Amino acid sequence: MTRRGLHSSDYSAEARARLAEAVEAARRALGCETRKQFVAESGIRMRSLEKIEAGEEGVGPRIFDRLHRALPGWNAGTVREILEGGPIPEPVERPLFRLDIQWHTRDEITTLLASNPEAATVLEKLLGWHQEFRKAGLTGDDLIAVSKEALQAR
């Protein structure tokens, strides 16, 4: 059986060490001095982050996908580029880690759902519409625009 996607074990120890340094620098630039802070925000498990920052083998495409989404200035090809000797993005300093907003919103939604059972129905409809919009080639911004129009029309 052939593996699919990017795997750290396909690269040399030197390449993995290069990635480790880049990830640690990017994490610290975000204000996450500890791995625990970054893990709480990014959805990456502690052991996976430890492997990445130690230059170890055993990290695969799902973790790298989460990693590039959590680091400003990184994209889907950044990890491969770094492992293959390409440019390392300059660390982006941000006082507010971008995922803070996502986690705060999740907490607000959880509170709303707990206090208002009808909110679950509305949220399920909204998620369904989001899927329909994506299938039709529309974006989340298009759904937001439609939602704003509906709020104004009521």
**What pLDDT score was predicted for residue 1?**
43
Whether residue 48 is found in the same domain as residue 91? yes
Please identify every stretch of the chain with a pLDDT value under 50, giving residue numbers as ranges. Answer: 1-2, 96
Domain count, the chain: 2
Residue in 63, 94, 101 with CA at minimum distance from that of residue 79: 63
Residue 2's φ and ψ, nearest 5 degrees, are -95, 135
Judge whether 3 lies within some domain.
Answer: no
CA dihedral (74, 33, 96, 37) in degrees, to 10, reads 90
Judge whether 22 lies within some domain.
Answer: yes
Residue in 33, 32, 52 with CA at minimum distance from that of residue 42: 32
Whether residue 34 is found in the same domain as residue 62? yes
Residue range of the domain that includes 44: 8-96
Whether residue 108 is found in the same domain as residue 132? yes
Whether residue 18 is found in the same domain as residue 91? yes
Whether residue 63 is found in the same domain as residue 109? no
Judge whether 80 lies within some domain.
Answer: yes
Judge whether 1 lies within some domain.
Answer: no
Domain with residue 41: its CATH number is 1.10.260.40
Burial class (CB in 10 A: 0-12, 13-18, 19+), 70: buried
Whether residue 12 is found in the same domain as residue 88? yes
Distance of CA 29 to the CA centre of its chain: 16
**What pLDDT score was predicted for residue 33?**
85
**What pLDDT score was predicted for residue 55?**
97
**What pLDDT score was predicted for residue 109?**
86
**What pLDDT score was predicted for residue 78?**
95
